[in-house]
Amino acid sequence: MINPAFTPSSDDLALLEVKDLRKVFIDRDFQTPVLKGVNFTLQKAEMVALLGPSGSGKSTLLTILGTLMRPSSGSFNMLGRELTTLKEKELSNFRNQEIGFIFQYHHLLPDFTALENVMFPHAGRLWRETRVGRERAAMLLDRVGLKDRMNYQATRLSGGQKQRVAIARALMNQPALVLADEPTGNLDRENADQVFDLMTEIQRETGTTFLLSTHDRELAERCQRRIYIESGVVVDQPVPRERTISAPRTGLRVIDGDAPSVVDRTSTTDRDLQRRA
Amino acid sequence: MRFDLKVALRYLLSNRLQSALLIGGVAVAVTVFTFNAALINGLAEFQIDRVVGSSAHVTIEPAQLRPAVLPARDNTDRLTASQVTLERREQIKQWRSVERTINTLPGVTGVSYNILGTGLVSRGQQTLPVTIKGVEPSRLAAIAPIDRNIVAGDARLGLNDVLIGRKLAENLGIRIGQPFFITSDQGRERTLTVRGLYATGIDSLDARLAYVNLDTARVMFDLPEGLSEIEIKLADIYVARQVAEQLAESTGLEATAWMDKNQNLRQALEGQGSSGNIIKMFTLITIVVGVASALLLTTFRRRPEIGIMRSFGISQRFVLSVFMIQGALIGVLGSLVGCILGFGFSTLLANISTGSGRTLPVDPSLGQYDVALLLAAAASIAAALWPARAASRIDPVEAISQ
């Protein structure tokens, strides 16, 4: 257990407040609005699923909340700091200490061991490895069930193990918020369930807020709260909609809970279909 | 260990072949650099030694008599110059005081007080012009190692003795112990005895210069007190110009350093030096291009990793440092290997005989290893700057989605 005694402070529960966040991508003369005024709030110590069809702006939103990209307009405030006004260096520091990332693909550094990968955010900030950092990294790896794989080169780990290391790495600097972009999207069902369970447990133990984007409705249901995003705006509930998928051989008909409001005949993959079927 | 150093080392070790090739490339360039330096500098030393080894480093001569410049009688702006008097001879009269000044100078290894003049030597029907140099017998070898160049007879200089070059002896058909009839430019005739023959290897000396006793020269050239020149040899030939300036100032005489007396040699050495510098510059350019292109490729290959580092808040400075350290390590390791190879190669060639007991004029001690090490490391660091900056500016979002 990382911190079994954790209980969120009751006096100030708001962690992140997003107001009228917009993002327009400009490519020569073309302007593509991706986020069209997103508003929502995240509380401390909650696990929230971000749902929406491909192209709805989930990844862009996570990238902006992760301070890796600046919004075109709007504001978002985290732990009392308005992040849109911070300079690049300040953002980098803030990201290092308050935000953890888990990607769909693990993105471990292949030349380093599991332990070194987990230590990296800490050692990279201090420009040196410390005993405290090493002990915390070891503890985190132990927590994700990889105690015996600590000194394995990242390339020698299986897909599920790599994603567990990525989770440990995201938690290394004890961030207030972990952003996970389809963290189980690259794993088979069994591994996906294990990784998700692990995240849920760690979230409860640490009180870290998790915002995870997923296509997996089943996993999303297991989160405390769900935010739906469609065509760049947050909606209250997705309207279940009957949709015919352009799969001539199967002719499958599915009811898609987080389907886009406009019928999208190209964005659903065969893998999605298989999972939902 | 610094964490940026650890990451840089890990990156270098993860692709050992590429790192080895890079270090090898720098090493080859540094080998060329140091060998080129050893060859050019060795050659220059050889040439200087040949010229300066048997001549003075600083020569003091009487101040040239200049025509006096007088205002015109009609009170105009014009000046008139009177002709130089032909009655006075150019000579160093107060040479004892100059001698005292020279004795106070540090780094002087030899001094010769000379009288120079020209004369005609007759033998049979032959008459040849010669330069006669009157020296104190004890200082005969102070400037040119005549005693070591004696090929027949000996280097003693009695009042009636003369030492001549082997070439002059051949031209005159004269041998040791035979009489040497000479008429000085002052019209004094004298019969001397050939005491020794020398061979310096420099034709202009061996065919024209005859050494006589200083006192003999005083009589032959009507200089009972003065001197024609004072020659000085120094421990460090490269301070000759400063010494010459110092002497000129303190004595009022004309003092000339060897490099100003041998303009041709100076130009040749400068030409050689310039060609050497061009080669050195190209070796440095090779290092910069090689290291920069390889590191740029590495940067490109590691874009997603750099993007990930940036995504968890690793600073641009840290990424910059990782790549700069890689450049520096490649530079320092390559330079060290290159210096060792350069020294070994120069030593090997310096010991290979080219026939007749001579070796190539390569001096392994003049390989400028410190300069090579410094420049190659600096070149590698400079070469790493561009890829490092490119790496530090990678957009994490773009890189991660790659």
B12 to chain A: closest CA residue = A111
3-state secondary structure of B124: coil
pLDDT at position B46: 84
A171 to chain B: closest CA residue = B312
B1, B10, B396 member nearest A111 (Cβ): B10
Rounded distance, CA A101 to CA A67, Å?
11
Chain B nearest C-alpha distance from A154 (Å) = 13
Q: Which of B1, B9, B311, B319 to mutate to test the interface with A (most CBs of A within 10 A)?
A: B311
CB A164 within 8 A of CB B354: no
Chain A nearest C-alpha distance from B318 (Å) = 7
Please give the structure tokens belonging to residue A79: 């732990």
Above 80 in pLDDT, residue A265?
no
Above 50 in pLDDT, residue A258?
no
Q: Give the residue among A253, A188, A183, A186 at the shortest CA–CA distance from A220.
A: A183
Chain A nearest C-alpha distance from B14 (Å) = 7
Rounded distance, CA B291 to CA B293, Å?
6
Asked if B312 lies within 8 A of A110 by C-beta distance, the reply is no
Strand partners, A48: A211, A225
Above 70 in pLDDT, residue A23?
yes
Rounded distance, CA B31 to CA A16, Å?
61
A173 to chain B: closest CA residue = B312
Rounded distance, CA B185 to CA B195, Å?
23
CB B11 within 8 A of CB B320: no
3-state secondary structure of B163: strand
Rounded distance, CA B330 to CA B317, Å?
20
Please give the structure tokens belonging to residue A134: 């090493």
Please give the structure tokens belonging to residue B41: 């500098």
The yes/no answer to whether this complex scores an ipTM above 0.90 is no
Q: Using alpha carbons, list the distances in angstroms from residue B173 to A56, B1, B126, B208, B209.
A: 111, 81, 10, 14, 16
Above 70 in pLDDT, residue A147?
yes
Which helix (DSSP H) or strand (DSSP E) does residue B11 occupy? helix B3-14
Poorest-pLDDT segment among A153-157, A159-163, A270-274, B325-329: A270-274
A169 to chain B: closest CA residue = B312
pLDDT at position A240: 53
Residue type for B308, please?
I
| Residue A262 banded pLDDT, cuts 50, 70, 90 | very low
Q: Give the residue among B108, B110, B102 at the shortest CA–CA distance from B144.
A: B110
Above 80 in pLDDT, residue A81?
yes
Q: What average pLDDT is seen over chain A?
A: 81
Asked if B304 lies within 8 A of A107 by C-beta distance, the reply is yes
Q: B181 versus A243: which is more confidently predicted?
A: B181
Please give the structure tokens belonging to residue B122: 């007759």
A106 to chain B: closest CA residue = B308
Rounded distance, CA A68 to CA B369, Å?
47
Q: A51 versus B47: which is more confidently predicted?
A: A51
**Domains of chain A with CATH codes:** 14-238 (3.40.50.300), 240-277 (no CATH)
Q: Which of B3, B301, B401 to mutate to test the interface with A (most CBs of A within 10 A)?
A: B3
Percent of chain A with pLDDT over 90: 50
| pLDDT tens per residue, range A213-239 | 988 888 888 899 999 999 889 987 665
CB B339 within 8 A of CB B37: no
Rounded distance, CA A224 to CA A43, Å?
11
Answer whether B314 touches A (CB < 8 Å).
yes
Rounded distance, CA A149 to CA A147, Å?
6
Residue type for B117, please?
G
pLDDT at position A5: 41
Above 60 in pLDDT, residue A112?
yes
Q: Give the residue among B300, B398, B11 at the shortest CA–CA distance from A116.
A: B11
Q: Give the residue among B394, B384, B399 at the shortest CA–CA distance from B8.
A: B384
CB B367 within 8 A of CB B46: no
CB A183 within 8 A of CB A102: yes
Rounded distance, CA A195 to CA B357, Å?
81
Rounded distance, CA B89 to CA B226, Å?
10
DSSP conformation class of A157: S
Written in H, E and C, the secondary structure of B59-122 is EEECCCCCCCEEECCCCCCCEEECCCCCCCCCCECCHHHHHHHHHHCCCEEEEEEEEEEEEEEE
Q: Give the residue among B209, B225, B227 at the shortest CA–CA distance from B102.
A: B227
DSSP conformation class of A72: S
* CB atoms inside a 10 Å sphere around CB A47: 21
Backbone angles phi, psi at A25, to 5 degrees: -90, 130
Residue ranges in chain B modelled with pLDDT below 70: 65-76, 78-89, 355-357, 402
Asked if B313 lies within 8 A of A68 by C-beta distance, the reply is no
**For chains A and B, what is the number of CB pairs under 8 angstroms?**
74
Asked if B311 lies within 8 A of A68 by C-beta distance, the reply is yes
Residue type for B356, please?
S
Asked if A109 lies within 8 A of B309 by C-beta distance, the reply is yes
Domain boundary assignment for chain B = 3-51+266-400, 108-234
Above 60 in pLDDT, residue A68?
yes
Chain A nearest C-alpha distance from B107 (Å) = 54
Chain B nearest C-alpha distance from A110 (Å) = 9
Rounded distance, CA B265 to CA B268, Å?
5
| pLDDT tens per residue, range B262-317 | 888 878 888 888 888 898 888 889 888 888 888 888 888 888 889 999 988 999 99
Please give the structure tokens belonging to residue B210: 């005859």
Above 90 in pLDDT, residue A119?
yes
Above 50 in pLDDT, residue A268?
no
Asked if B3 lies within 8 A of A129 by C-beta distance, the reply is yes
Residue type for B296, please?
L
Residue type for B54, please?
S
Please give the structure tokens belonging to residue A252: 């499958």
pLDDT at position B254: 87
Rounded distance, CA B214 to CA A107, Å?
91
pLDDT at position A237: 63
CB A258 within 8 A of CB A217: yes
Provide the residue count of chain B.
Answer: 402
Phi-psi region of A272 (alpha: psi -120 to 50; beta: other; left: phi over 0): alpha
Sheet holding A233-235, edge to edge: A99-102, A177-181, A209-214, A47-51, A225-230, A233-235
CB B235 within 8 A of CB B229: no
* CB atoms inside a 10 Å sphere around CB B400: 23
CB A57 within 8 A of CB A35: yes
Query: Which residues fall within 8 angstroms of residue B311, CB to CB, at 6 or more apart?
Result: A66, A68, A95, A101, B396, B400
Strand partners, A179: A101, A211
Query: Which residues fall within 8 angstroms of residue A185, CB to CB, at 6 or more apart?
Result: A104, A214, A215, A216
Please give the structure tokens belonging to residue B186: 């002052």
A110: which chain B residues are within 8 Å (Cβ-Cβ)? 14, 305
Please give the structure tokens belonging to residue B131: 């330069």
